[in-house]
Structure 1
Amino acid sequence: MKTTVSLLLSTAVALSALASCGKNDEVPAANPQTYVLVHGAWQAPYVWNAVRSDLIKKGNQVVVVELPGHGTEKTPLHTLSLDVYRDKVIDAMSNVNGKVILVGHSMGGMVITNVAEKVPAKISKLVYIGAFLPASGQSLEELSQLDPGSKLGPSLVLSADHLSLDVKKEDLTNLFIKDGTQADKDLVVSNYRAEPSIPFGNKVTLTKENFGAVDKVYIKTLQDIVISPGFQDSMIAKAGIKTVYTVNTSHSPFLAQPQAVSELLLKIGQEQTLK
Structure 2
Amino acid sequence: MKTFRLATLLVAVLLCALAACSDQKPAPEIPPTTFVLVHGAWQAPYVWQPVQQRLEQQHHKVIVVELPGHGSDLTPPQALTLNAYRDKVVAAIRAQPNNVVLVGHSLGGMVVTAVAESIPARITKLVYVGAFLPANGQSLLALAATDSTSQLGAALVPSADQLTLDIRPDRLVPVFIQDGSPAAQQLVAGNYRAEPAIPFTNPVTVTAANFGRVDKYYVHTALDNAVGLRLQQRMAAAAGIAKTYTLRSSHCPFLAVPDQLSEVLLALAR
- The two structures share one fold, judged by TM-score above 0.5: yes
Equivalent position amino acid for 2:264 in 1: L
What does 1:1-80 align with in structure 2 at a 5 Å threshold?
30-80=30-80
Unpaired stretches in structure 1, ≥5 consecutive residues? 1-28, 271-275
**1:192 matches 2:206:** no
Residues in 2 aligned to 1:231 and 1:137: alpha-carbon distance in whole angstroms: 17
- 2:178 corresponds to which letter in structure 1? K
Give how far 1:30 is off. Answer: 4.9
Map of 1:229 onto structure 2:
229
Query: How far is 1:225 from its partner?
Result: 1.1
For 2:104, what is the secondary structure of its paired residue? strand
Equivalent-residue separation in structure 2 for 1:167 and 1:215 (angstroms): 34
2:147 is aligned with 1:147 = yes
Shift of 1:149: 1.1
Cα RMSD over matched residues? 0.9
Matches within 5 A, 1:256-267: 256-267=256-267
Q: Percent identity?
A: 53
TM superposition shift of 1:31:
4.4
Structure 1 counterpart of 2:116, one-letter code: A
Structure 2 unmatched runs, 5+: 1-28
After TM superposition, the runs of 4+ consecutive aligned structure 1 residues lying more than 2 A away are none
Letter in 1 for 2:111: V
Matched residue type, 2:45: P
Q: Measure how far apart 1:197 and its partner are.
A: 0.1
Q: Whole-Å Cα distance in 2 between the matches of residues 93 and 127 of structure 1?
A: 15
Cα distance in 2 for residues equivalent to 1:205 and 1:166: 27
Listed as ranges, the matches of 1:72-221 within 5 Å are 72-221=72-221
Quick one: distance in 2 between partners of 1:188 and 1:154?
19
Correspondence for 1:238: 238
For the residues of structure 1 that align with 2:130 and 2:116, how far apart are their CA atoms?
18
Q: TM-score, normalised by structure 2?
A: 0.88
Partner SS for 1:208: coil
Letter in 2 for 1:96: Q
Task: Say how many residue pairs are matched.
Answer: 242
Displacement of 1:133: 0.3
Q: Which amino acid aligns with 1:135?
A: A
What secondary structure sits across from 2:97 in the alignment? coil
For the pair shown, the structure with the greater C-alpha radius of gyration is 2
State how far apart, in whole Å, the 1-side matches of 2:92 and 2:198 are: 22
Q: d(CA) in 2 for partners of 1:207 and 1:118?
A: 10
